[in-house]
Structure 1
């Protein structure tokens, strides 16, 4: 039985190492959120078992949880970079399937068609606005910046202010608000499913996305010209890496010891 107990410990240490390695690999990934492996003990017992003589039969992974703590906000000076100081997520839609996903990576870009996209090419969702930049709807949709204004002047540049308003400036010097970035929050953020590319999708555990404006409630403020770095602390991860390695080595040594004891017992029976 001691072999299986130590084997479970080695498997858990391997899982812990995989989680830590993924954190370290994404230390420079914008908007990345680190994960932590959680474990629970396994006990072989019954109703008539004396609890004072129950040694246990190892451990197993109970959950791999995500830490959505805020990462460092880094100034980039790029007008289409935005960072969220709060719990909100930028909402995006796949250009082909329309599937809705959520991200903290605010590295946005404008394409020739006037659509505002994130770093992976998904369409950024925002509220339609009036001439003052105030939302006129509560349902977000794709951001499409007109490449020519009503006077026939071509688009010169766009910007995103700290209210999340996307503004378009044209060659005749006029500036018009186009949309207001829609942020999403969830009843249980930890229930979001990571799908890669610093993106998540909603699940039954996270609850349905609730959309709102930047700076209102717990959606968070938008910082223009900045990106949120990964919340991975390399020093902390290195300590965790060493701990997981020692756990693996200790369980391997326990197997060696159990093997030696078993061999001794077999020799005594000869």
Structure 2
């Protein structure tokens, strides 16, 4: 019996060495969680149960528990590298089966799908139709777009300016955009875009009338009038009074490019009249031309954006994270992945940076949680335990030999 007891100790020490060796081997594995060997003592039972003064029968390996603590987050500068700062696992589709991982060293395949080096695809919540939020009721494979961003037709031009309060009517009348002596100031031209992404120049000319605090604005697109002149009225303090909402609807413009009719509105909100000089404080418009894909970026809440050269940001999906009631119940599948089990419980999914889910750090990876110094100490302790149990067998052998040699 004592031989078996010592043998169980040797097996336990060997198992501890194996766990320690695996930890040390994975000291540089992305997202790896160190394991801990856990042991339980053994007792022999008789038909009458466990004796009151029973002596133990050795030890057994009861569990190899992975420690799901947070690893250090190391920057890499690569946009598709992701680290979870907090709770949660990346949700992956591996040939139709769902697996989970903390390793965010993702890459794209030949079809643009984002996944692990072994081919498990990253799961995201897809954008809703119309671009408002994400459909959190289902997940799909993340696929990067490689096509150009389509153009967006301009519908609104924002101008904010200050007209001189001491301006006088110009000496030349009527207004002629070709004659600078017939107008006091101009917006200088704002590029607007038709439905095909072709640029056109919208220009506003400001002409002081004979009435106090009153101006005319003449709007043109590509040198063609875009409606009749509109009166601008200012208060004695210089605030814009008319039009009341600051909006001017221009006459529709039909481009020669074959694009659709360009309906433009001019927003003059915030414009004023005071001082002695004209100042153009802001020019903006809401359209853009077609754009080339510049980069992929990922926000802290896991939204994956395709950023284009025209300034457009297209959301491709939101990373879906999963948590478990008992992460230690997960079954390791190798390649930095785990699968759910009855012991782990059913996964709960959600978006990053919500509830108890961690944030996503793009351009970074979570390092292994293995403390090399601690593992080397564990190795020494396991080695000593192995030697002690082996010495115990040797001692028991000597004792047995002595008994056999009694005459």
- TM-score, L = length of structure 2: 0.62
* Aligned counterpart, 1:134: 133
Q: CA deviation at 1:49?
A: 6.2
Task: Write the deviation string for residues 174-232 of structure 1: whole angstroms up to 9, x where unpaired.
Answer: 22111000001112111100111111011111112111000112221111111100101
Choose from 107, 120, 123 the match for 1:122: 120
Superposed, 1:73-88 pairs within 5 Å as 73-88=73-88
Q: CA deviation at 1:50?
A: 5.0
The answer to whether structure 1 residue 22 and structure 2 residue 22 are counterparts is yes
Q: CA deviation at 1:144?
A: 1.6
Q: Once structures 1 and 2 are overlaid, which stretch shifts more, 41-50 or 60-69?
A: 41-50
The answer to whether structure 1 residue 39 and structure 2 residue 177 are counterparts is no
Please give the root-mean-square deviation of Cα atoms over the aligned residues, in Å: 1.8
Distance between the aligned counterparts of 2:78 and 2:50, measured in 1?
66
* Aligned counterpart, 1:223: 361
Structure with the bigger percentage of helix: 1
Distance between the aligned counterparts of 1:168 and 1:110, measured in 2?
14
Secondary structure of 1:10's aligned partner: helix
Task: Write the deviation string for residues 230-270 of structure 1: whole angstroms up to 9, x where unpaired.
Answer: 101111111111111000000000000000011111111x3
Secondary structure of 2:315's aligned partner: strand
Distance between the aligned counterparts of 1:217 and 1:161, measured in 2?
17
Secondary structure of 2:353's aligned partner: coil
1:133–1:179: 8 Å Cα contact kept in structure 2? no
Which structure 2 residue ranges, 5 or more long, are not aligned?
A: 152-289
* Aligned counterpart, 1:51: 52
Choose from 294, 306, 328 the match for 1:190: 328
* Aligned counterpart, 1:146: 145
2:72–2:366: 8 Å Cα contact kept in structure 1? yes
Task: Write the deviation string for residues 107-160 of structure 1: whole angstroms up to 9, x where unpaired.
Answer: 112334221122322111000125767322321111122221344654332121
Distance between the aligned counterparts of 1:262 and 1:48, measured in 2?
29
* Aligned counterpart, 2:193: none
* Aligned counterpart, 2:71: 71
Number of residue equivalences: 266
- TM-score, L = length of structure 1: 0.92
Which structure 1 residue ranges, 5 or more long, are not aligned?
A: none
1:183–1:211: 8 Å Cα contact kept in structure 2? yes
2:44–2:50: 8 Å Cα contact kept in structure 1? no
